[in-house]
Amino acid sequence: MADVLALIPARAGSKSIPRKNLATLAGKPLIVWTIEAARSSHSLTRIVVSTDDPEIADVAEKSGAGVPFVRPAALAQDETPAIQSILHAVNWLDKHEGYRPDFVMVLQPTSPLRQAEDIDAVVKLAQDRKADAVVSVSPAQRHPFWMKRVTEDGRLQNFFDEDKQYVRRQDLPPAFELNGAIYLAQRDVLIEAETFYTDRTFAYVMPHERAVDVDEPWDLYLAELILRNRK
Protein backbone atom coordinates (compact mmCIF):
# COMPACT_ATOMS: atom_id res chain seq x y z
CA MET A 1 0.00 0.00 0.00
CA ALA A 2 1.32 3.42 -0.95
CA ASP A 3 2.34 5.90 1.73
CA VAL A 4 0.11 8.95 1.15
CA LEU A 5 0.50 12.18 3.08
CA ALA A 6 -2.59 14.39 3.24
CA LEU A 7 -1.57 18.02 3.61
CA ILE A 8 -4.23 20.56 4.63
CA PRO A 9 -3.06 24.17 4.14
CA ALA A 10 -4.92 26.55 6.45
CA ARG A 11 -3.55 30.03 7.03
CA ALA A 12 -5.16 32.53 9.39
CA GLY A 13 -5.80 35.33 6.92
CA SER A 14 -8.72 35.64 4.52
CA LYS A 15 -10.15 38.62 2.68
CA SER A 16 -13.66 37.48 1.75
CA ILE A 17 -14.66 35.73 5.00
CA PRO A 18 -12.79 36.72 8.20
CA ARG A 19 -10.86 33.72 9.58
CA LYS A 20 -12.54 31.59 6.94
CA ASN A 21 -10.95 28.27 7.89
CA LEU A 22 -12.65 28.49 11.29
CA ALA A 23 -15.99 29.78 9.98
CA THR A 24 -18.92 27.72 11.25
CA LEU A 25 -20.46 25.37 8.71
CA ALA A 26 -23.34 23.14 9.86
CA GLY A 27 -22.14 23.37 13.44
CA LYS A 28 -18.43 22.73 12.84
CA PRO A 29 -15.42 24.86 11.90
CA LEU A 30 -14.90 24.73 8.14
CA ILE A 31 -11.54 22.94 8.38
CA VAL A 32 -13.04 20.09 10.43
CA TRP A 33 -15.09 18.86 7.46
CA THR A 34 -11.90 18.26 5.49
CA ILE A 35 -10.12 16.60 8.41
CA GLU A 36 -13.05 14.26 8.98
CA ALA A 37 -13.21 13.28 5.30
CA ALA A 38 -9.47 12.56 5.36
CA ARG A 39 -9.77 10.48 8.53
CA SER A 40 -12.60 8.46 6.98
CA SER A 41 -10.48 7.63 3.95
CA HIS A 42 -8.82 4.22 3.65
CA SER A 43 -5.92 5.49 1.53
CA LEU A 44 -4.17 8.09 3.67
CA THR A 45 -1.20 7.30 5.88
CA ARG A 46 -0.92 10.63 7.65
CA ILE A 47 -2.85 13.91 7.92
CA VAL A 48 -0.90 17.14 8.51
CA VAL A 49 -2.22 20.68 8.77
CA SER A 50 0.08 23.53 7.73
CA THR A 51 -0.94 26.72 9.53
CA ASP A 52 0.45 29.91 11.01
CA ASP A 53 -2.43 30.23 13.47
CA PRO A 54 -2.50 28.73 17.02
CA GLU A 55 -6.31 28.49 17.10
CA ILE A 56 -6.45 26.62 13.78
CA ALA A 57 -3.68 24.32 15.04
CA ASP A 58 -5.65 23.61 18.22
CA VAL A 59 -8.87 22.81 16.32
CA ALA A 60 -6.93 20.62 13.89
CA GLU A 61 -5.24 18.60 16.62
CA LYS A 62 -8.50 18.11 18.52
CA SER A 63 -10.07 16.86 15.28
CA GLY A 64 -7.37 14.24 14.76
CA ALA A 65 -4.86 15.91 12.44
CA GLY A 66 -1.19 16.46 13.15
CA VAL A 67 0.40 19.91 13.35
CA PRO A 68 4.13 19.20 13.65
CA PHE A 69 5.31 22.70 12.69
CA VAL A 70 4.20 26.33 12.48
CA ARG A 71 4.10 27.72 8.98
CA PRO A 72 6.41 30.76 8.63
CA ALA A 73 4.55 34.06 8.37
CA ALA A 74 6.31 34.76 5.06
CA LEU A 75 4.50 31.75 3.58
CA ALA A 76 1.06 32.76 4.88
CA GLN A 77 0.48 35.99 2.97
CA ASP A 78 -2.25 36.74 0.44
CA GLU A 79 0.30 36.86 -2.38
CA THR A 80 2.19 33.68 -1.36
CA PRO A 81 1.98 31.06 -4.14
CA ALA A 82 0.21 27.99 -2.75
CA ILE A 83 2.93 25.66 -4.02
CA GLN A 84 5.49 27.34 -1.76
CA SER A 85 3.67 26.45 1.45
CA ILE A 86 3.18 22.90 0.17
CA LEU A 87 6.88 22.46 -0.64
CA HIS A 88 7.79 23.93 2.75
CA ALA A 89 5.71 21.27 4.51
CA VAL A 90 7.10 18.41 2.43
CA ASN A 91 10.68 19.57 2.91
CA TRP A 92 10.17 20.20 6.66
CA LEU A 93 8.93 16.66 7.20
CA ASP A 94 11.91 15.29 5.28
CA LYS A 95 14.47 17.43 7.13
CA HIS A 96 13.11 17.08 10.67
CA GLU A 97 11.55 13.60 10.59
CA GLY A 98 13.10 11.88 7.60
CA TYR A 99 9.56 11.33 6.33
CA ARG A 100 9.27 10.87 2.57
CA PRO A 101 5.83 9.58 1.52
CA ASP A 102 5.17 8.12 -1.92
CA PHE A 103 2.43 10.65 -2.63
CA VAL A 104 1.43 14.08 -1.34
CA MET A 105 -2.27 14.96 -1.42
CA VAL A 106 -3.39 18.54 -0.85
CA LEU A 107 -6.88 18.96 0.60
CA GLN A 108 -7.97 22.58 0.86
CA PRO A 109 -10.34 23.35 3.77
CA THR A 110 -12.40 25.48 1.38
CA SER A 111 -13.77 22.29 -0.23
CA PRO A 112 -15.79 20.89 2.68
CA LEU A 113 -18.13 18.70 0.63
CA ARG A 114 -15.56 16.35 -0.87
CA GLN A 115 -15.91 12.89 0.65
CA ALA A 116 -13.65 10.03 1.68
CA GLU A 117 -14.69 8.12 -1.43
CA ASP A 118 -13.27 10.93 -3.59
CA ILE A 119 -9.96 10.77 -1.74
CA ASP A 120 -9.74 7.00 -2.15
CA ALA A 121 -10.70 7.19 -5.83
CA VAL A 122 -7.97 9.73 -6.56
CA VAL A 123 -5.30 7.54 -4.96
CA LYS A 124 -6.55 4.51 -6.88
CA LEU A 125 -6.55 6.44 -10.16
CA ALA A 126 -2.97 7.57 -9.59
CA GLN A 127 -1.82 4.03 -8.91
CA ASP A 128 -3.79 2.44 -11.75
CA ARG A 129 -2.54 4.96 -14.32
CA LYS A 130 0.97 5.28 -12.83
CA ALA A 131 0.29 9.01 -12.86
CA ASP A 132 2.65 11.79 -11.91
CA ALA A 133 -0.37 13.57 -10.49
CA VAL A 134 -4.17 13.61 -10.29
CA VAL A 135 -6.24 16.79 -9.97
CA SER A 136 -9.97 17.00 -9.30
CA VAL A 137 -12.23 18.77 -11.79
CA SER A 138 -15.94 19.27 -12.39
CA PRO A 139 -17.93 19.74 -15.60
CA ALA A 140 -17.73 23.41 -16.62
CA GLN A 141 -20.86 25.27 -15.61
CA ARG A 142 -20.22 27.97 -18.21
CA HIS A 143 -18.69 26.54 -21.34
CA PRO A 144 -15.65 28.50 -22.57
CA PHE A 145 -16.82 28.35 -26.21
CA TRP A 146 -19.76 30.51 -25.22
CA MET A 147 -17.63 33.11 -23.47
CA LYS A 148 -17.44 36.58 -25.01
CA ARG A 149 -15.05 39.49 -24.83
CA VAL A 150 -15.68 43.21 -25.10
CA THR A 151 -13.40 45.33 -27.30
CA GLU A 152 -12.08 48.74 -26.25
CA ASP A 153 -14.87 50.43 -28.21
CA GLY A 154 -17.52 48.23 -26.58
CA ARG A 155 -18.20 45.66 -29.32
CA LEU A 156 -19.07 42.09 -28.31
CA GLN A 157 -16.90 39.37 -29.87
CA ASN A 158 -16.31 35.66 -29.45
CA PHE A 159 -13.61 34.90 -26.89
CA PHE A 160 -12.16 32.14 -29.07
CA ASP A 161 -11.31 32.86 -32.69
CA GLU A 162 -12.72 29.66 -34.15
CA ASP A 163 -14.52 29.08 -37.42
CA LYS A 164 -16.97 26.59 -35.95
CA GLN A 165 -19.83 28.04 -33.93
CA TYR A 166 -21.94 26.04 -31.51
CA VAL A 167 -25.65 26.75 -31.25
CA ARG A 168 -26.83 23.84 -29.10
CA ARG A 169 -25.39 22.92 -25.72
CA GLN A 170 -25.48 19.25 -26.70
CA ASP A 171 -22.99 19.91 -29.51
CA LEU A 172 -20.32 21.47 -27.31
CA PRO A 173 -17.16 19.42 -26.69
CA PRO A 174 -16.79 18.42 -23.01
CA ALA A 175 -15.11 21.06 -20.86
CA PHE A 176 -14.00 20.84 -17.25
CA GLU A 177 -12.91 23.31 -14.60
CA LEU A 178 -10.56 22.92 -11.66
CA ASN A 179 -12.57 22.71 -8.45
CA GLY A 180 -9.73 22.92 -5.91
CA ALA A 181 -10.90 19.92 -3.88
CA ILE A 182 -8.05 17.43 -4.38
CA TYR A 183 -4.50 17.63 -5.68
CA LEU A 184 -2.28 14.54 -5.60
CA ALA A 185 1.27 14.07 -6.85
CA GLN A 186 4.13 11.69 -6.44
CA ARG A 187 6.38 13.30 -3.84
CA ASP A 188 9.51 13.18 -5.97
CA VAL A 189 7.70 14.64 -8.98
CA LEU A 190 6.31 17.45 -6.83
CA ILE A 191 9.73 18.31 -5.39
CA GLU A 192 11.40 18.30 -8.81
CA ALA A 193 8.70 19.94 -10.94
CA GLU A 194 7.19 22.19 -8.22
CA THR A 195 3.76 21.72 -9.80
CA PHE A 196 0.88 19.27 -9.99
CA TYR A 197 0.72 19.67 -13.76
CA THR A 198 2.85 17.48 -16.01
CA ASP A 199 2.05 15.54 -19.17
CA ARG A 200 1.17 12.65 -16.84
CA THR A 201 -1.44 14.54 -14.80
CA PHE A 202 -4.85 12.84 -14.87
CA ALA A 203 -8.29 14.25 -14.10
CA TYR A 204 -10.66 13.00 -11.43
CA VAL A 205 -14.18 14.20 -12.23
CA MET A 206 -16.39 15.22 -9.30
CA PRO A 207 -20.06 16.30 -9.35
CA HIS A 208 -20.81 19.93 -8.54
CA GLU A 209 -22.61 19.07 -5.32
CA ARG A 210 -19.36 17.77 -3.82
CA ALA A 211 -17.13 20.44 -5.31
CA VAL A 212 -18.35 23.70 -3.75
CA ASP A 213 -15.35 25.97 -3.17
CA VAL A 214 -15.97 28.33 -0.25
CA ASP A 215 -14.64 31.72 -1.29
CA GLU A 216 -17.49 34.14 -0.58
CA PRO A 217 -20.24 34.14 2.10
CA TRP A 218 -22.69 32.88 -0.55
CA ASP A 219 -20.57 29.74 -1.02
CA LEU A 220 -20.70 29.07 2.71
CA TYR A 221 -24.48 29.44 2.64
CA LEU A 222 -24.74 27.09 -0.35
CA ALA A 223 -22.56 24.47 1.37
CA GLU A 224 -24.80 24.73 4.44
CA LEU A 225 -27.91 24.06 2.35
CA ILE A 226 -26.31 21.02 0.68
CA LEU A 227 -25.24 19.56 4.03
CA ARG A 228 -28.73 20.06 5.46
CA ASN A 229 -30.18 18.25 2.45
CA ARG A 230 -27.76 15.36 2.94
CA LYS A 231 -29.00 14.90 6.49
Instruction: Report pLDDT for 62.
Output: 98
Instruction: Report pLDDT for 29.
Output: 97
The architecture of the domain spanning 4-139+176-230 is Alpha-Beta Complex (3.90)
Instruction: Report pLDDT for 54.
Output: 96
Instruction: Report pLDDT for 103.
Output: 98
Structure confidence by residue, pLDDT tens digits, 138-147 = 998 877 777 7
Q: How far is CA 169 from the centre of its chain?
A: 28
Q: How confident is the model at residue 168 (pLDDT cuts 50, 70, 90)?
A: low
Average pLDDT over residues 55-66: 98
Instruction: Report pLDDT for 148.
Output: 81
Q: How confident is the model at residue 59 (pLDDT cuts 50, 70, 90)?
A: very high
Question: Burial level of 27, CB count in 10 A (0-12/13-18/19+)?
Answer: exposed
Q: How many residues are listed for the chain in this entry?
A: 231
Instruction: Report pLDDT for 174.
Output: 83
pLDDT of 11 strictly over 80: yes
Beta strands 176-186 and 201-205, pairing class: unpaired
What kind and span of H or E run contains 218?
helix 217-230
Instruction: Report pLDDT for 165.
Output: 62
pLDDT of 84 strictly over 70: yes
Percent of the chain residues topping a pLDDT of 70: 94
Instruction: Report pLDDT for 67.
Output: 98
CA distances from 105 to 54, 133, 136, 146, 212 (A): 23, 9, 11, 33, 18
Better pLDDT: 5 or 228: 5
CA distances from 74 to 4, 82, 107 (A): 27, 12, 21
Structure confidence by residue, pLDDT tens digits, 184-224 = 999 999 999 999 999 999 999 999 999 999 999 999 999 99
Q: Report DSSP state, residue 40.
A: H
